[in-house]
Amino acid sequence: MASPQSERLAIAPSPTTPGSRVLRTPLSDEAIWKRLRDAGFDEESIKRRDKAALIAYIAKLEAEIYDHQHHMGLLILERKEWVSKHEQIKASAESAELIYKRDQAAHSSALAEARKREDNLKKALGIE
pLDDT of residue 25: 58
pLDDT of residue 24: 57
End-to-end CA distance of the chain: 137
Flag residues of the chain having pLDDT under 70. Answer: 1-25, 128
pLDDT of residue 39: 79
pLDDT of residue 3: 52
pLDDT of residue 56: 93
Alpha-carbon gap, residue 76 to 80, rounded angstroms: 6
